Structure 1
Amino acid sequence: MGRILLVTGGARSGKSSFAERLVAGLGPDIAYIATARALDEEMVERIAQHRLQRPAAWHTHEAPDFPSQVIAGQGQRCDGLLLDCLTVLTTNKMLAQAVDWDHPAMARLKEVEAAVMVEIEAIVAAAAASRADLVAVTNEVGCGIVPGSSMARFFRDCAGRVNQRMAAAAAEVYLVVSGIPVRIKG
């Protein structure tokens, strides 16, 4: 049975680099699961930088909507899985829903969050059924000011609940601050 190791922290905290070191310790055969989409020049550059910093031997799987399927498919054959990242996945799931973010209906927001959480539960289940450990990266977005828009507030709240669920399922949780990982669970 695979374990979940959750790595969280703020933007540019060093969480992805730490997660890469953590998963590298699991063995040589690593499946890297990317959730980002290259929708603009900045994201193209960020994705290129992430590719350069990880070993070329790792198998990259682009799964912006259903990383649980990659975990289920690769978890029996590889030494470790790295999912980067849950907050981008949350954004992808949010934007796939038809919502008037200027005037969102509460019932509709509950449906959007439910759609996000279905995939999170699928990730937890796939990781539990896997022989490989899953290292999942996520952003801690709840430490700043209250966002001014309804979409940003919903994202902050939804991402917080995603992080709580993943942390509850995780055997270990790390908070990375200024490049320094601190184990907060396990």
Structure 2
Amino acid sequence: MKGTELILGGARSGKSRLAEQLAAASGLDVIYVATATAGDEEMAERIARHQTQRPAAWQVVEEQQDLASVVQRYSRKGTCLLIDCLTLWLTHCLCAEEATHEHWQQHKHDFLTALLHAEGRIILVSNEVGQGIVPMGELSRRFVDESGWLHQAIARQAERVVFVTAGIPQVLKGPVW
């Protein structure tokens, strides 16, 4: 996954802002891939705030489950895909009507395979949720487990992995800017 970066951090850590800065500075045609849906008024406000922060020239693609197809379709030389955020994608996949263990594993496999064959630069944003206590509830524990395993799989193959805390990026793997 040459050209693939994984940016991790907690809520309001600055991870999305860093990803947007890197995409803007890339000099490439940026395609912003949004995985969020406005299920309530507060989330709609969050989405609107993110939209106003992005350059108008960026193409926006909204996709909640089939990220593999988005990568296959839009990742080309001269493009930068900024996918924000993987944990929302995971939530959509785990909570879908057809959600089974196999359903998620297929989405994950297809996505990781698409990343391996991507031709353009890809910046992935995701929430690090595994640094706290083990949550109560089967779905919550599965979410934490699956996000951790997803991050590990991407990090093994990514060129760069960055952890953001309080707006400060810490490069865990790969070249420093």
* TM-score exceeds 0.5: yes
**Cα deviation digits, residues 102-144 of structure 1 (max 9, x gap):** xxxxxxxxx42x4323223322322332221110001100111
CA distance in structure 2 between the partners assigned to 1:83 and 1:35 by the alignment: 8
How is 1:13-52 mapped onto 2 (pairs within 5 angstroms)?
A: 13-52=13-52
Query: Does the 8 Å CA contact 1:2/1:127 hold for their aligned counterparts?
Result: no
> Which range moved further: 74-83 or 29-38?
74-83
Corresponding residue for 2:81? 81
Look up the SS of the partner of 1:30 in the other structure: strand
How is 1:106-121 mapped onto 2 (pairs within 5 angstroms)?
A: 111-112=100-101, 114-121=102-109
> Which range moved further: 124-133 or 166-175?
124-133
Q: Aligned pair 1:122/2:110, yes or no?
A: yes
Deviation at 1:98, TM superposition (A): 5.8
Corresponding residue for 2:149? 161
Q: Name the amino acid aligned to 2:8.
A: T
Task: Give the structure-2-normalised TM-score.
Answer: 0.91
Pairwise CA RMSD of aligned residues? 1.7
Task: Give the structure-1-normalised TM-score.
Answer: 0.87
CA distance in structure 1 between the partners assigned to 2:105 and 2:49 by the alignment: 29
Gaps of 5+ in 2: none
CA distance in structure 2 between the partners assigned to 1:121 and 1:22 by the alignment: 26
Q: Aligned pair 1:133/2:121, yes or no?
A: yes
CA distance in structure 2 between the partners assigned to 1:78 and 1:37 by the alignment: 28
Q: Name the amino acid aligned to 1:22.
A: L
Deviation at 1:2, TM superposition (A): 4.8
CA distance in structure 1 between the partners assigned to 2:169 and 2:158 by the alignment: 16
How is 1:98-109 mapped onto 2 (pairs within 5 angstroms)?
A: none
> Which range moved further: 76-85 or 175-184?
76-85
CA distance in structure 2 between the partners assigned to 1:164 and 1:117 by the alignment: 14
Gaps of 5+ in 1: 100-110
CA distance in structure 2 between the partners assigned to 1:44 and 1:147 by the alignment: 27
Query: Does the 8 Å CA contact 1:86/1:136 hold for their aligned counterparts?
Result: yes
